[in-house]
Amino acid sequence: MGDTLIQFQDVTKRFKKSDKSAVKETSLGIEKGSFVTILGTSGSGKTTLLKMVNRLYEPTSGQIFIYGEDISSMKVTELRRKMGYVIQNTGLFPHMSIEENIAIVPKILKWDKKKINQRVDELLELVHLDPLQFRTRYPSQLSGGQQQRVGLARAMASDPEILLMDEPFGAIDAITRVSLQDELLQIQKKLNKTILFVTHDIDEALKLGDQLIVMDEGIVQQYGRPIDIILQPANEFVSKLVQSNNAFQLLGLLKAEDVMIPIENQGELARLSIENEWLVDKGESLKHVLNILLEVDKEQVIVVDESQEIQGIVTFEQLKLNKKEIAAAVSE
């Protein structure tokens, strides 16, 4: 277990004139460095939960702690400096150029010009926009996907530890969305941020999150690893939400190393002629393995580690494993 970075303690939010709580008695901890996706239907309280973390909303009761410190006793400006915030329609200022938009927080922090300039370039490169081309443009001169990249760059300007993202890719076409997701995963790997990411797209939630929060009616229905939620949904609601594409989702979540038949001794290794065989990295998903098997019409692939040492094999037969067997393999 890592360090708990954000802790919700019996948090309830009830808006004025509303007879129902938008978020009800929620207690949960977010570990430092984790990528937590928050999934739920419209009106389930996802945005409300997120906005209480940067105090755009104050809880009606309960407390939220960051590194053990109650955020209600922190200065709002100081709290928000620890977290970047990205929303669906980016919130970029239309009258400011891209560089000015990204530099907002560094300017507030009174960084010197040179440092700000360097940071803007660095961030644009991080989100795959060429600084020479994009620095001086205005938001309206960018595509939706490019604007979203700038939104992310701006949120990361002062290198905050936490990123709060509310359906950031919601309005982006499917193909661009996938590349933005991949880039975000790369950024997370590289910079090890703690990310809270709201979405109502199940595939996005499963792909991005190493932890998943499922919400309904202001209540956290389940919180855990995507694989555990798919295999053991806590209740009817969760089960319905995740079952739509179950078998295929499982293949996306499991890695070759989770189910491979290990090669344990030299004799076995010698018998396994790797000529004409396909090698896959042990961290690749079973979806990827299945793709290969179908494409090259093979019965098995060879699983290798980072140094290309053979670890085992995954056979076509194994991908037909039923849910129970996979559950057993994962919980080992």
Ligand X SMILES: Nc1ncnc2c1ncn2[C@@H]1O[C@H](COP(=O)(O)OP(=O)(O)OP(=O)(O)O)[C@@H](O)[C@H]1O
127 to 186, contacts with Mg ion by CB under 5 A?
none
Site string for Mg ion, 275-304 (x = CB under 5 A): ------------------------------
Q: Which is nearer to Mg ion, 23 or 184 (CB)?
A: 23
**Residues 249, 231 contacting (CB under 8 angstroms):** no
3-class SS letters over the chain: CCCEEEEEEEEEECCCCCCCCCEEEEEEEEECCCEEEEEECCCCCHHHHHHHHCCCCCCCEEEEEECCEEHHHCCHHHHHHCEEEEECCCCCCCCCCHHHHHCHHHHHCCCCHHHHHHHHHHHHHHCCCCHHHHCCCCHHHCCHHHHHHHHHHHHCCCCCCEEEEECCCCCCCHHHHHHHHHHHHHHHHHHCCEEEEEECCHHHHHHHCCEEEEEECCEEEEEECHHHHHHCCCCHHHHHHHHCCHHHHHHHHCEHHHHCEECCCHHHHHHCCCCCCCEEECCCEHHHHHHHHHHHCCCEEEEECCCCCEEEEEECHHHHCCHHHHHHHHHC
Q: Which is nearer to Mg ion, 47 or 188 (CB)?
A: 47
Task: State the nearest-atom distance from the C-beta of 47 to ligand X, in Å.
Answer: 3
Q: At which residue do the structure tokens 């950024």 appear? A: 187
Q: Which is nearer to Mg ion, 47 or 158 (CB)?
A: 47
Q: Which is nearer to ligand X, 168 or 252 (CB)?
A: 168
Task: State the nearest-atom distance from the C-beta of 221 to ligand X, in Å.
Answer: 13
Question: CA-to-CA distance for 194 and 180, rounded, in angstroms?
Answer: 17
Task: State the nearest-atom distance from the C-beta of 244 to ligand X, in Å.
Answer: 18
Task: State the nearest-atom distance from the C-beta of 180 to ligand X, in Å.
Answer: 19
Interface residues with ligand X (CB under 6 A) are 15, 18, 22, 40, 42-48, 200
Task: State the nearest-atom distance from the C-beta of 185 to ligand X, in Å.
Answer: 22
**Residues 220, 8 contacting (CB under 8 angstroms):** no
Q: Which is nearer to Mg ion, 47 or 148 (CB)?
A: 47
Q: Which residue is nearest to Mg ion (CB)?
A: 47
Task: State the nearest-atom distance from the C-beta of 40 to ligand X, in Å.
Answer: 5
Contacted entry of Mg ion, ligand X, none for residue 44, CB cut-off 5 to 8 Å set by kind: ligand X
62 phi-psi bin (left φ>0, alpha ψ -120 to 50, beta other): left
Q: Which is nearer to ligand X, 20 or 115 (CB)?
A: 20
Task: State the nearest-atom distance from the C-beta of 45 to ligand X, in Å.
Answer: 4
The region of 40-48, 134-142, 240-248, 253-261 touching Mg ion under the rule CB under 5 A is 40-48
Q: Which is nearer to Mg ion, 51 or 177 (CB)?
A: 51
Q: Give the strand pairing for 194-199 and 35-40.
A: parallel
The region of 42-50, 66-74, 124-132, 180-188 touching Mg ion under the rule CB under 5 A is 42-50
The region of 47-55, 61-69, 85-93, 175-183 touching Mg ion under the rule CB under 5 A is 47-55
Among residues 26, 44, 47, 101, which is the contact residue for Mg ion, using CB under 5 A?
A: 47
Q: Which is nearer to ligand X, 55 or 200 (CB)?
A: 200
Task: State the nearest-atom distance from the C-beta of 329 to ligand X, in Å.
Answer: 34
Q: Footprint of Mg ion on this chain (CB under 5 A)?
A: 47
